[in-house]
Amino acid sequence: MYAGVQDQVYRGLKGRTKHASSAVRDTRGMVLNHGKEIASAYYCACCGGHTSDIRHVWPKREPADYLYGVPDQDPTNPGAFCRDYKNFRWRYSFSGKELGSMLRKTLPSKLGVERSRVGEVIDISIEDWTPSGRVSAVIVRTTKDEYRIAGDEIRWVLMADPAKGRILPSIMFRFDKIMEGGRLVFLSIAGGGNGHGVGMCQNGAIAMAKKGYTYRMILEHYYPGCEVVKAYQ
């Protein structure tokens, strides 16, 4: 276990709380199954109102029908469970020069192209959106070539803060652009959610718990068709 994002900033014994320890004891031996197999229980900080279809976000990973995305709300009560999260909605803006500087660093890193082959940015566009409102791919057109970036890799190419290594919060977004003389001079990215969006929405789950939903109800909402079962004592 590591005190980093790969293990959700696990803090060891110093990070224990009364409520967390109680939850661990009360759910001892419980696992989430899909049929007779343990489910791949992916999760993110905030889904932005609808969880992701794993096939669109991570096309190279094992698909599962309980990871095809669900609305993050109670059908009888409009409004996303995670709507009060700080990154439920966000916006980042770049000049054409800033975007070009970013892409000359990120495109070679993610696509393996030579930096000298990137050229100057002419335009950037969204290819399409998935049913959950996420971008399927972006197309970057430069003076030397055209590049297609798909799925969650978009977040590592269009970074929120390249200087600090902060990737884009999610791929649930729209573009607002200003073009001059046939070239992009300003790009604003308005989006929602934080993370890949596959599986459970952590802030949505917190909101559900505060409303009285049990842990079984929460898990069965985010992983439809799955069931919490006792696997060991």
The first and second tokens of residue 28, run together, are 């001892």
Q: Please, what is the Cα angle at 25 between 19 and 28, to 5 degrees?
A: 135
Domain count, the chain: 2
Residue 7, pLDDT score: 74
Residues 96 and 78 in one domain: no
Same domain for 81 and 95, yes or no, is: no
Q: Do 165 and 221 fall within a single domain?
A: no
- Residue 4: pLDDT band (50, 70, 90) is confident
Q: Which pLDDT score, from 0 to 100, does residue 27 have?
A: 93
CA atoms within 13 A on the CB side of 107: 26
**For residue 191, what is the enclosing H or E element?**
strand 183-192
Percent of the chain with pLDDT over 90: 84
Residues 134 and 40 in one domain: no
Evaluate if residue 83 carries a pLDDT over 80: yes
Q: Which domain holds residue 39?
A: 5-85+195-230
Position 76 scores a pLDDT of 84
| Residues 111 and 172 both lie in one domain | yes
Claim to verify: residue 45 and residue 120 sit in the same structural domain: no
Instruction: Give me the pLDDT at residue 12, please.
Output: 82
Burial of 47 (0-12, 13-18, 19+ CB in 10 A): buried
**Segment 28-65, tens digit of pLDDT:** 999 999 999 999 999 999 999 999 999 999 999 999 99
> Could you tell me where the DSSP H helices lie in 15-58?
18-26, 54-57
CA distance 198 to 222: 9
Burial tier of 41 (Cβ tally within 10 Å: 0-12, 13-18, 19+): middle
Q: Clarify whether residues 121 and 162 are in a common domain.
A: yes
Note whether 185 and 145 are same-domain residues: yes
Same domain, 113 and 205: no
Looking at per-residue pLDDT, the higher value among 203 and 15 belongs to 203
98 and 173 housed in the same domain: yes
- Quote the pTM value: 0.90
